Amino acid sequence: MKIRKEAVILGVVIVVLSLYLVFNKRDRNLYDLPNLKPLTVSEISKITLDSSEGTILLTQKAGEWVVNEAAYPGDKTTIKRVVEIIANLRMTTLISESKNYARYDLDPEHKITIKAWNGDTLVREFDMGKAASGHRHTFVKLDADHRVYHAEENFRNRLQGKTDKFRDKRVMSFEPDQIQQIQLSALDDQSAFVKEVSPAASAKIPTEDETTEMQAAKPVWKNEAGDVVKDNKLTKLLEDFSTLKCSAFVEGAQKSDFKDPMASITFTGAEEYTLQVFERLDKGLSKHPAVSSQSDYVFYIPKWQADQLTKALADIVPLEK
């Protein structure tokens, strides 16, 4: 009798499990994930990132990405990642059908609507919400689909930001080894420094065994009086300003608006590269406006970098003879 009772219980369990598997399979069929049309990176030529704070426009022109109608040069690495995210968008899980979008930051105040075009043809559109709790997915809602999905990867921070985030922040670039002269002006003091190499050493082509000659060929920097100076500060200036990136741009400002710099430096090689730094627009700011001969825009550099220029002359002194 006991065996028969256990057999009945086992049979009931088997039936329940079978029904669960059948209905669960039906549920999965009802929730098939969207099959997005495949896109390649090269197919995307225009992107808009539309949020409650405004719209950012990224457009490809002559093979280069530019930002907004002003056609600011775009940051290649940042925009390349944006394009890859849009092209490779893939849903992994259906999360909600309830239309409770605020829970996922997909409400009008928090969502970012992303649209991508190939020429004049809209090829992708979706709303992006916040990152999922595991920080490995992002909540998204596709155009004309009320449901919320997990998208592969956490990419909210990659597509969120103000215009400056997508602009190319390089404002000065040159090869330090090519610079032969540095002119520095700061706090009503100025000086020029010239790089020189011993004629005898420069004419000689050193071999592996000619260590002494190689050391002798090291260039020296001289001031206007012809004295050899300590070159550690000059070397540091060359290193730091040869690949200068700004921290942000000064909105609405023109280069012609700024005169009488508090400090300036010019590096001369085959060309001249000049940076001018101005007093802070607000004493509470920890950054200075600046302009460069290699940029059409007014930008900010941090205060510590402005201080690097204003304090450099005091440390560039002649070597003790």
pLDDT classification of 69: cutoffs 50, 70, 90: very high
Give the DSSP letter of residue 259: -
Q: Higher-confidence residue: 228 or 8?
A: 228
Segment 191-198 shows an average pLDDT of 90
The domain segmentation of the chain, as residue ranges, is: 41-166, 170-315
Residues 210-229 have pLDDT tens digits of: 554 555 567 899 999 999 99
Q: How confident is the model at residue 320 (pLDDT cuts 50, 70, 90)?
A: confident
Average pLDDT over residues 231-247: 95
* Range of weakest confidence among 12-21, 207-216, 235-244: 207-216
> Which pLDDT band, with edges at 50, 70 and 90, does 202 fall under?
very low
d(CA 82, CA 44): 11
How far apart are the two ends of the chain, measured CA to CA in Å?
Answer: 112
pLDDT score at 28: 42
| Structure confidence by residue, pLDDT tens digits, 109-161 | 999 999 999 999 999 999 999 999 888 999 999 998 999 999 999 999 999 99
HEC-encoded secondary structure of 23-63 = HHHHHHHHCCCCCCCCCCHHHCCEEEEEECCEEEEEEEECC
Q: What is the pLDDT of residues 81-107, one digit of tens each?
A: 999 999 999 999 999 999 999 999 999
For the four alpha carbons of 100, 102, 108 and 112, in that order, the dihedral sign comes to: negative
Q: What is the pLDDT of residue 26?
A: 41
Cα torsion 133, 137, 138, 144: sign:
negative
Q: At 319, is the pLDDT very low, low, confident or very high (cuts 50, 70, 90)?
A: confident
How many Å apart are CA 80 and CA 213, to the nearest integer?
A: 47
